[in-house]
Chains A and B, each alone.
Chain A
Amino acid sequence: EAGVTQFPSHSVIEKGQTVTLRCDPISGHDNLYWYRRVMGKEIKFLLHFVKESKQDESGMPNNRFLAERTGGTYSTLKVQPAELEDSGVYFCASSQLNNLVYNEQFFGPGTRLTVL
């Protein structure tokens, strides 16, 4: 079974440009999360989808970030316009939806974003 995949693995853009990151969760996983780690900092939660709905977007830093999950399958995270402080590694994770037990989150390899 394929794990969580993310595309691209690396992206280098200039300040002010737009970048779109993609995450394909494990098939059948209704929970999808975005996290990021900026240089020297801890991994921070950005937002959580349940199927196509945003369950929690409290971690989104500002309105330059837009996440979508149309159809409840893959998700995209768009940064527009990108700023220098957006550089870091963006992780996507997915898990099964089961209210009775804890389901581990499976993480993708991350997208390394560099804004110049």
Chain B
Amino acid sequence: DAKTTQPTSMDCAEGRAANLPCNHSTISGNEYVYWYRQIHSQGPQYIIHGLKNNETNEMASLIITEDRKSSTLILPHATLRDTAVYYCIVRVVFAGTALIFGKGTTLSVSS
């Protein structure tokens, strides 16, 4: 599995966009980029995933560079409830793949 590198922590003002970067320079062609987050005292929560095209859902947007060596998770209007640890995970996708969590980025949203 490709190794990912994320900043340890980031701060964001409430209502502003939170842009969380992830470096995955050794990603291979059949590996997807997944994002999960863990809000304090809860289980991890799926956010979004993508292969090479940008993706958007009701929670966030995922921007993957053309060479696929890095990506950015965007929370367009961060709220206090978005304070959490965000994990960027790169894995080959097939049914049932287990997740490999790194240290993630602790995002702190303040008012």
Neighbouring A residues of B34 by C-beta, 8 Å: 102
Known: A31-B95, A42-B103. A102 touches B44 (CB 8 A): no
Q: Cβ of B100 < 8 Å from any Cβ of A? A: yes
Please determine whether B32 and A102 come into contact, CB atoms closer than 8 angstroms: yes
Known: A42-B101, A43-B101, A45-B100. A97 touches B95 (CB 8 A): yes
Please determine whether A31 and B96 come into contact, CB atoms closer than 8 angstroms: yes
Partner of B98, one of A56, A98, A99: A56
Neighbouring A residues of B98 by C-beta, 8 Å: 33, 45, 48, 56, 59
Q: How far is the CB of B64 from chain A (nearest CB, A)?
A: 15
Q: Which of A13-21, A65-73, A74-82, A105-113 contacts B (4 or more CB under 8 A)?
A: A105-113
Please determine whether B43 and A4 come into contact, CB atoms closer than 8 angstroms: yes
Known: A102-B32, A102-B93. A91 touches B99 (CB 8 A): no
Cα A48 to Cα B94 in complex, Å, equals: 14
Query: How many B residues touch A, CB cutoff 8 Å?
Result: 21
Task: Name the residue of chain A whose CB is nearest to the CB of B51.
Answer: A102
Within 8 A of B (CB), among A42-64: 42-45, 48, 50, 55-56, 59
Neighbouring A residues of B43 by C-beta, 8 Å: 4, 91, 93, 107-110
Q: How far is the CB of A32 from chain B (nearest CB, A)?
A: 10
Seen from chain B, the residues whose Cβ lies within 8 Å of a Cβ on chain A are 32, 34, 38, 41-46, 49, 93-103
Provide a sorted-by-A list of 11 A–B residue pairs whose CB atoms are within 8 angstroms: A4-B43, A45-B98, A48-B98, A95-B96, A97-B96, A99-B94, A100-B95, A104-B46, A105-B46, A107-B42, A109-B42
